[in-house]
Amino acid sequence: MSGALKENSGKPSEVEYTHFKDLQALEMERGRLYETIVVTWDDSMVGNAAPIGVLCTGDDTVTLYLYQGTRTVENVLNNGRFTVNVTLDPLIFTDSTLGDLEEDMFSHYRDFLHLRGADAFFTAEVVSVKKLVKRDRFGESELHVVKARAGDVMRAESFRMALNRGIYAVIESLIAYTRAEFSDPLVLRERIAEMNRVARKVGGPREKEAMRRIIQALESKIS
Amino acid sequence: MSGALKENSGKPSEVEYTHFKDLQALEMERGRLYETIVVTWDDSMVGNAAPIGVLCTGDDTVTLYLYQGTRTVENVLNNGRFTVNVTLDPLIFTDSTLGDLEEDMFSHYRDFLHLRGADAFFTAEVVSVKKLVKRDRFGESELHVVKARAGDVMRAESFRMALNRGIYAVIESLIAYTRAEFSDPLVLRERIAEMNRVARKVGGPREKEAMRRIIQALESKIS
Ligand SMILES: Cc1cc2nc3c(=O)[nH]c(=O)nc-3n(C[C@H](O)[C@H](O)[C@H](O)COP(=O)(O)O)c2cc1C
Ligand SMILES: Cc1cc2nc3c(=O)[nH]c(=O)nc-3n(C[C@H](O)[C@H](O)[C@H](O)COP(=O)(O)O)c2cc1C
């Protein structure tokens, strides 16, 4: 969906997928968190899509952190299955956050639903669910830690990569760094600290090392 | 360089490139701005690398906006040639911003230098240079608008895409949107406005449309 810009209205055309056995086919690396579209369904097979971060924990295992109160967590807890869909299309992310995707945006694969036209998707079955209470600067929230096993991994010709925010956090920090002379040091530090949190949460070793170097250089530049 | 994580020390291994005739081979789209590594050299062929935004303006034309005072602008104005290098490696972006890349990070191609191990690169020859004074919230700065023509487009097996911050601006805005209840409306609006500036500067029509929808939804959510 990212390559060929589909028309805004009307459903995306069906895409052919090649079957792979594990997440290496999507170049997903253990320890990185990817922004994906998770598709779930209720007992009547009514589909639901939401942007969800998916942590890769192995060649065929992922962990999701699902906040209470979404359709996604309800469906996942209810039937123990979902698909993880890879796209770089900003309008899919936007429409599934601001409202619901149209029904014709879902497609069947075996007894799963997936995002029609996705660059790739994989089926997943829940292995364990742990409920915990998270306390952070946004307050207290109930969180379900869902461990799941990937089944069929399906990749289309249009697949380029799964979306990882690590490199963007580094780029944002570098741009902030090159403008440091013109910035309020407090605002700058807060911005870099936020990007460091993102890189540590989603990134791999090279993103984390990059942030370490940037923070070090910045401290000697503005102090 | 993005796929195979090269060792931190030591030069990256040489990579084989396939030759293409224009920027379509890198899926660069007219109107989008990509974050790349521009490699230049002085009269003694001493290489220099810097992260530079490259606006694609056609199948074989690009525009660079170069601020006064960098080695890059000096070299480009001096010899009218450079290479644009595609990588997703956070440490290359970081090290070329914070300091200089080691000499062995440059490789020869015809009479050009390029970034060794880059996922792709293309040679470029300056067509025109226009000097202007830019006034923005950071003050007044002298800017060179450099129009250039792409020559040989070289792509390695590791190439996935050129880095565009558009999708990232949309994702950041959506995450801010989903946390709107817990945020200071002023801070939130400023953040979204900044991401809208990024999307308008670097993105394509789908990123711009996504930002329009997010801002509209946000305004009815927080007002
Ligand atoms: C990029 C992005 C990543 C997100 N990741 C998560 C996540 O990991 N867990 C979660 O519970 N919500 C996450 N959200 C928020 C949900 O997508 C949001 O609450 C959505 O409205 C839920 O929709 P639903 O009720 O249809 O399931 C994310 C949102 C965005 C934009
Ligand atoms: C992601 C990114 C994009 C940048 N884009 C530009 C640009 O388009 N034009 C520019 O003059 N400087 C840009 N910069 C700043 C230069 O990279 C920076 O000034 C660098 O130190 C110049 O190095 P040099 O003196 O070796 O040329 C950018 C920096 C980053 C991190």
pLDDT digits (tens, 9 = 90+) for B84-95: 999 999 999 999
* Nearest beta carbon to residue A213 from set B94, B182, B204: B94
The dihedral through the CA atoms of B2, B7, B11, B14 has a sign that is negative
Query: Diameter of chain A by CA atoms?
Result: 61
Helical packing angle, B90-98 and A166-178, nearest 10° = 10
* Smallest-distance ligand from the CA of B90: 2
CB A38 within 8 A of CB A134: no
A24-65 tens-digit pLDDT: 999 999 999 999 999 999 999 999 999 999 999 999 999 999
Assign A4 a pLDDT band (cuts: 50, 70, 90): very low
* Residue B73, Cβ density class (10 Å: 0-12 exposed, 13-18 middle, ≥19 buried): buried
Specify the pairing of strand B120-136 against strand B139-156.
Answer: antiparallel
Express each pLDDT in A113-169 by its tens digit: 999 999 999 999 999 999 999 887 767 889 999 999 999 999 999 999 999 999 999
How confident is the model at residue A6, as a pLDDT?
A: 45
User: In chain B, positions 132-161, which contact chain A (CB-CB < 8 Å)?
Assistant: 138-139, 160-161
* pLDDT at B13 (0 to 100): 77
Instruction: Extract the residue ranges of chain B whose pLDDT is less than 50.
Output: 1-9
Q: How far apart are CA A16 and CA A154, in angstroms?
A: 9
The superfamily in CATH containing domain A17-156 is: Electron Transport, Fmn-binding Protein; Chain A (2.30.110.10)
CA distance B79 to B76: 6
Token duo for residue A91: 């309008």
Query: Which value, to the nearest 10 degrees, does the dihedral of the CA atoms of residues A190, A195, A196, A201 take?
Result: 130
Minimal-distance CA residue of chain A relative to B97: A174
Distance (Å, rounded) from C-alpha A125 to C-alpha A122? 10
Which of A119, A138, A206, A220 is most worth mutating to test chain B (most B CB atoms within 10 A of its CB)? A206
B chain contacts of residue A205, beta-carbon cutoff 8 Å = 5
Look at residue A1 in the predicted model and tell me its pLDDT.
41
Q: What is the predicted pLDDT for the residue at B35?
A: 98
3-state secondary structure A72-91: HHHHHHHHCEEEEEECCCHH
Structure-token match 């946004």, residue found:
A138
Task: Produce one character per residue of B4-30: b if its CB has 16 or more CB atoms within 10 Å, e if not.
Answer: eebeeeeebeebebeebeebebbbbee
CA distance B199 to B173: 10
Range with lowest mean pLDDT among A9-13, A98-102, A175-179, B122-126: A9-13
The pLDDT of residue A2 is 41
* Contact (Cβ atoms closer than 8 angstroms) between residue A27 and residue A161: yes
Q: Which CATH architecture has domain A165-220?
A: Up-down Bundle (1.20)
Residue A167: what pLDDT?
A: 98
What's the pLDDT band for A5 if we cut at 50, 70, 90? very low
Whether B129 and chain A come into contact, CB under 8 Å, resolves to: no
Q: How far is CA B173 from CA A70, A221, B210, in A?
A: 19, 29, 10
SS3 of residue A19 by DSSP:
strand
pLDDT band at A202, cuts 50/70/90? very high
Among candidate residues A49, A76, A79, A75, the one with its CA nearest the CA of residue A64: A76
Query: Terminus-to-terminus CA distance in chain B, angstroms?
Result: 46
Asked if B88 reaches chain A (Cβ–Cβ under 8 Å), the answer is yes
Contact A76, A126 (CB under 8 A): yes
Quick check: B36 and B121 in contact, CB under 8 A?
no
CB neighbours of A155 closer than 8 A, spacing ≥ 6?
A17, A18, A20, A25, A26, A119, A120
Which residues of chain A are within 8 Å of residue B163 when distances are taken between CB atoms? 167, 171
Q: With an 8 Å Cβ cutoff, are B166 and A90 in contact?
A: yes
How close B174 comes to chain A (CA, Å)?
7
Residues of chain A contacting B98 with CB distance shorter than 8 Å: 177, 213-214, 217
Name the residue among B90, B143, B146, B79 with its Cα closest to residue B113: B79
Percent of chain A topping pLDDT 90: 84
Q: What is the pLDDT of residues A54-96, one digit of tens each?
A: 999 999 999 999 999 999 999 999 999 999 999 999 999 999 9
What are the angstrom distances between the C-alpha of B110 and each of A57, A74, B40, B76? Answer: 44, 60, 14, 17
Chain A interface includes B214 (CB < 8 A): yes
CA–CA distance, A61 with A57 (Å, rounded to integer): 5
Higher-pLDDT residue of A5 and A164 is: A164
Domain boundaries, chain A: 17-156, 165-220
State the pLDDT at residue B3.
39
Determine the distance separating the centroid of ligand 2 and the alpha carbon of B51, expressed in angstroms.
5
pLDDT score, position B135: 87
Residue type, A163: L
Q: Give the ipTM of the model, two decimals please.
A: 0.94
B89 CB near a chain A CB, below 8 Å? yes
| SS3 call for B196 | helix
Task: Tell me the whole-structure pTM to 2 decimals.
Answer: 0.94
Instruction: Choose which residue among B167, B177, B178 to substitute to test ligand 1 binding: the one with the highest number of ligand atoms within 8 A of its C-beta.
Output: B178
